């Protein structure tokens, strides 16, 4: 009984966490964010070293911010970070928000992925955006 | 006869240390795509053009005749090199003396008119805390901009909405409208630009 409850709790935690990373989100992150924020959101992208200000580590900044705050920064920009509002659709901004939230939770070593990879993979195979409802990018902005 | 053997021995002794030193230096080099821009001295007359500035007002290049002009090409949603160019030029603007500021103007010309309206450019410049007294951000119809890009040999290739590949040029133009220095690359060194600007100020 206890095992059943624990498994249910585990499944619920995974559901709440959301898989986070889809191919579309990763593509937009790679195109628009990775240069400064780096592949894992630690602020160590190839351009970061040349910027006048240090690029924050998502794991330290994103956790404290609400979805609308993160969305606001991506839309309106901050200091020298570009404002993506004029260029991207609501769906694309949402993709970015989800991706940075996903990366902010990533402090997992390679061993973690080796151990739990199949479980994460199985969870990620569920089309959560269809199950939970998701904003598709506007037709004009699809690439 | 012993000479070459001594040199070889010396090389064998020293090379591991040189290798270690190089490795150490490489380890401390931050990973960066922006290791400065290539600087070239040239002499190229710049034709007149007109665009709209960040307030929507018509701007004519000819109106800056008699001033030294720093021209750069950027777009506001650029995720890599443009922030470095604008941030470095902002540093140059900040380091100019009050006397120098009167004789120098900055122009940032967009490579993405689809997104970069005057309002968008104004917000972009505000985020960099640009002093608008001698810095204008220019946009316009694509056709007009294409002519300007051609004047400066800037190639622009649209990849997606808000994502553009373009030549990263920062050019210094003298008081007679002649392009004198061209920096091609991601991060033009503010110190080098300041030196070249001061050289132009002194020479005319």
Residues of A with Cβ-Cβ distance to B80 under 8 angstroms: 35-36, 47
Percent of chain B with pLDDT over 90: 77
Kindly give the pairing relationship between strand B135-138 and strand B169-173: unpaired
Asked if A82 and B84 come within 8 Å (Cβ–Cβ), the reply is no
| Model pLDDT, residue B17 | 45
List strand residue ranges (DSSP E) for chain B, in order. 38-45, 50-52, 58-60, 68-74, 104-110, 135-138, 156-160, 163-166, 169-173, 178-184
* Separation in Å, CA of A50 to nearest CA in chain B: 6
Residues of A with Cβ-Cβ distance to B158 under 8 angstroms: none
Judge contact between B181 and B29, C-beta under 8 A: no
Asked if B84 and A47 come within 8 Å (Cβ–Cβ), the reply is yes
* Separation in Å, CA of B156 to nearest CA in chain A: 17
Q: Which long-range contacts (CB under 8 A, 24 or more apart) does A131-135 make?
A: A134/A91, A134/A94, A135/A90, A135/A91, A135/A94
* Separation in Å, CA of B122 to nearest CA in chain A: 12
- For A86, which residue in chain B has the nearest alpha carbon? B115
SS3 B52: strand
Which of the four pLDDT bands, split at 50, 70 and 90, describes residue B190? very high
Residue contacts between A and B (CB atoms, under 8 Å): 88
Our CA angle for A71, B90, A58, nearest 5°, is 30
SS3 B126: helix
Residues of B with Cβ-Cβ distance to A33 under 8 angstroms: 79
pLDDT in tens, A30-79: 999 999 999 989 999 988 988 888 999 998 888 788 999 999 999 999 99
CB atoms inside a 10 Å sphere around CB A15:
14
ipTM: 0.76
Classify burial at B1, counting beta carbons within 10 Å of its beta carbon; exposed 0-12, middle 13-18, buried 19 or more.
Answer: exposed
For residue B150 the two structure tokens come to 């051609």
Kindly give the pairing relationship between strand B50-52 and strand B58-60: antiparallel
pLDDT in tens, B91-142: 999 999 999 999 999 999 999 999 999 999 999 999 999 999 999 999 999 9
DSSP state of A141: G
φ and ψ of B29, to 5 deg: -70, 120
């Amino acid at each position: 009984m206890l095992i059943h409850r624990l498994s249910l709790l585990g499944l619920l935690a995974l559901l709440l966490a959301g898989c986070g990373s889809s191919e579309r989100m990763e593509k937009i992150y790679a195109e628009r964010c990775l240069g400064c924020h780096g592949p894992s959101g630690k602020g160590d992208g190839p351009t970061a070293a040349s910027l006048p200000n240090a690029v924050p580590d998502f794991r330290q900044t994103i956790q404290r911010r609400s979805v609308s705050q993160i969305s606001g920064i991506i839309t309106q920009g901050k200091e020298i970070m570009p404002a993506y509002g004029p260029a991207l659709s609501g769906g694309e901004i949402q993709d970015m928000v989800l991706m940075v939230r996903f990366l902010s939770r990533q402090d997992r070593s390679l061993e973690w992925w080796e151990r739990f990879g199949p479980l994460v993979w199985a969870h990620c195979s569920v089309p959560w955006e269809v199950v939970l409802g998701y904003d598709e990018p506007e037709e004009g902005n699809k690439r | 006869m012993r000479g070459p053997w001594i040199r070889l021995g010396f090389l064998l002794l020293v090379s591991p240390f040189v290798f270690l030193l190089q490795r150490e230096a490489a380890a401390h080099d931050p990973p960066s795509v922006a290791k400065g821009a290539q600087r070239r001295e040239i002499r190229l007359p710049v034709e007149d053009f007109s665009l709209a500035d960040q307030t929507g007002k018509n701007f004519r290049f000819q109106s800056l005749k008699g001033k030294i002009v720093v021209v750069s090409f950027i777009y506001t949603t650029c995720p890599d090199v443009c922030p470095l160019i604008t941030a470095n030029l902002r540093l140059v603007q900040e380091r100019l003396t009050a006397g120098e500021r009167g004789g120098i103007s900055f122009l940032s010309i967009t490579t993405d008119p689809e997104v970069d309206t005057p309002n968008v450019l104004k917000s972009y410049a505000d985020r960099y805390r640009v002093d608008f007294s001698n810095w204008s951000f220019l946009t316009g119809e694509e056709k007009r901009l294409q002519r300007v890009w051609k004047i400066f040999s800037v190639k622009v290739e649209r990849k997606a909405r808000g994502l553009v590949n373009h030549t990263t040029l920062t050019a210094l133009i003298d008081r007679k409208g002649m392009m004198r220095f061209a920096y091609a690359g991601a991060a033009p060194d503010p110190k080098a630009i300041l030196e070249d600007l001061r050289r132009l100020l002194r020479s005319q």
